[in-house]
Amino acid sequence: MDTTLQDALVGQVLDGRYRVDARIAVGGMATVYRALDTRLDRVLALKVMHPTLAADVSFVERFIREAKSVARLAHPNVVQVFDQGAEGAYVYLAMEYVAGCTLRDVLRERGALQPRAALDILEPVLAALGAAHRAGFVHRDMKPENVLIGDDGRVKVADFGLVRSVDTVTSTTGTVLGTVSYLAPEQIEHGTADPRVDVYACGVVLYEMLTGGKPHAGDTPAQVLYKHIHEDVPPPSAVVPGLAYELDELVAAATARSPELRPQDAVALLAQVREAHAALRDEQLDAVPPQAVAAAHDNAEDRTSVIPRALTSPTLGFARAGGPPSRPLPVNEHDVPDAEAALNRTSVLRTPPAEPSRRRLGRPRRGLVTVVAAVLLVLGAGAGVWYINSGQFTRVPPLMTRTEDQARERLDKAGLELGKVKHAYSDTVKKGTVISSDPSSGARIRSNDSVTLTISDGPKTVKVPDLSGQELAKARARLKEEGLAPGMVTQEFSEDVPSGSVIGTTPAAGTVRRAGSAIALTVSKGSPIDVPDVTGDDLDSAKQDLQEAGLKVKVSAQQVNSEYDKGKVARQTPAGDSQAAEGDTVTLTVSKGPVMVEVPDVVGDSVDDAHQQLEDAGFQVDEDRGLLGLFGDTVKKQSVEGGEKAPKGSKITITIR
């Protein structure tokens, strides 16, 4: 029974834009729907948080964090996030709709894969994770359920719901959020997660693709966790004899129990995978694994769970919506987890097929059709070609990130011709490898047709032009013309370069930089001018002196008390005897006159007491002893009589006899 009719959200339009057409899958945090963006007229996947969780601020923040994190990863192997929003109780992500299935579906139906197919799937996964790692994020929940394989053969990584910034991932206390079978030892023991935990999980996924089973098994999740910490992942050749030594080495390197022994991130592992791939012979890559009967899959260990680090009583969440892509999953009383279980799993984007027609007598069962489709998909990923209609038509094999020679070889095997070879710059695709093809990978074309390739020339680089002597505006325009960005501007005095013109750049002219790089400019302030000291002068006289020196004058609206008479210049900025450029402005502050303070009467006091009183009142003290006062200690007279007022800071002379 198609239970989408029972879903209250089906048929509604969220935010006046997204028409919900059908439910795809139900997960622990969210339900995924197929929807139509009525504004752009495109089909997309709508991931809607369960309304019961939308009331929890922490889960809403985690949900939104997924949108922001993935939106920053503009990579062809990452499921793209288009939009994020909320309407009423519904918090949603609008995401790329991927027609196909998950790697878990393929493994469940097919079992072990040929090494070529396994590496062809792993490479784009690592490319996606590498982009995330270099952008500062860790996925933390890599597993076959989160690897989507499109009908066109493209591989994409989904479900960045547990993503964290590399800089902010720290040890947690008491629990680990993840999936039992793919947790790295340091996640279990310490709760820490850096890019190497994704490397470990990818090593486990590679083992699973090569052997059809997980490296660590147990009756309980606690037993599996214990093995992650205390036992090495066995070589795949121990299960599938005859597998190449290079494949054993890849798995061993990625799943080393000590994170220091693993590749530092997915980019480093990808380099090792490509090196191993290139070293393997065709017969090693195309070795057929032993056929295995698909057993009932107990996915208890595949759930994203909160695991107590003590390993004594793991708390498992409910399994995510699983199974091969068929009609939307029904909801019954067993599908509705309790609150705690709902918080402990993530959801996977699933792809619904076209609406099934009424089943006729003798039609193959859906399960068999799914098995055949999964096998064809694996063969398509491994050999890079799908032949249909007895060879009259074929599909363009996956060519992304292949060298021109490798792409030519794949096209030959597919019975296709290499047409034009174009070149384009790319910041993300390695120089010498395929950026795109026309027709694109997976396109259905006639045998012997030609395919045009676009090869990466790597990032576009530009030589920094010589801008010396150019006016600042023209220099900025020149940088933009050359494909560079004007950067920070600093000013310096120069006897040789006119004011406002460029002295030089950082980096220097002739240096090669990636297009779009910012170039700092040093601009001349012209020859330095000695600033006259006009403090204490009349305001009009001070203005004239400064203007004759080539400077502009600004008078501050604020006046201050100072030692100078009212109307005189109390201070200036920049100060006198400093240097400024022609046309610079000097700000003058006018004096309100000194602060008048009452003078203490110190006649008859001892010299020490007189000093103390006068200085406390804010005056300077000078002594007049003369011949008669050389040995005296009493003040006989003071220059300003006690009780009168004098400018604060002025000098009072005391006569001693």
Active site residues: 141
The token pair at 632 is 């005296």
Q: At residue 174, what is the residue type?
A: G
End-to-end CA distance of the chain: 120
**How far is residue 624's CA from residue 286's CA, in Å, rounded to a whole number?**
110
**How far is residue 419's CA from residue 432's CA, in Å, rounded to a whole number?**
17
Q: Which of 491, 185, 545, 146 lies closest to 346, judged by CA?
A: 146
**How far is residue 587's CA from residue 570's CA, in Å, rounded to a whole number?**
11
Extract the runs of DSSP E, i.e. beta strands, from 501-630: 502-506, 512-514, 518-524, 528-530, 552-555, 560-561, 569-573, 579-581, 585-593, 596-598, 620-624
Handedness of CA 342, 346, 352, 356 (dihedral sign): negative
C-alpha 52: how far from chain center: 30
Burial profile 19-57: b = 16 or more Cβ within 10 angstroms, e = fewer: bbbbbbbbbbbbbbbbbbbeeeeeebbbbbbbeebbeee
The token pair at 530 is 């000695």
**How far is residue 67's CA from residue 61's CA, in Å, rounded to a whole number?**
10
Q: Provide the H-helix boundaries in 12-168.
A: 51-54, 57-71, 103-110, 115-134
**How far is residue 288's CA from residue 101's CA, in Å, rounded to a whole number?**
22
Task: Decide: 62 and 161 in contact? Cβ < 8 Å.
Answer: yes
Task: Decide: 617 and 650 in contact? Cβ < 8 Å.
Answer: no
Q: At residue 344, what is the residue type?
A: N
The token pair at 579 is 């240097």
Half-sphere exposure of 639 (CA within 13 A, CB side): 13
**How far is residue 125's CA from residue 158's CA, in Å, rounded to a whole number?**
10
**How far is residue 217's CA from residue 436's CA, in Å, rounded to a whole number?**
41
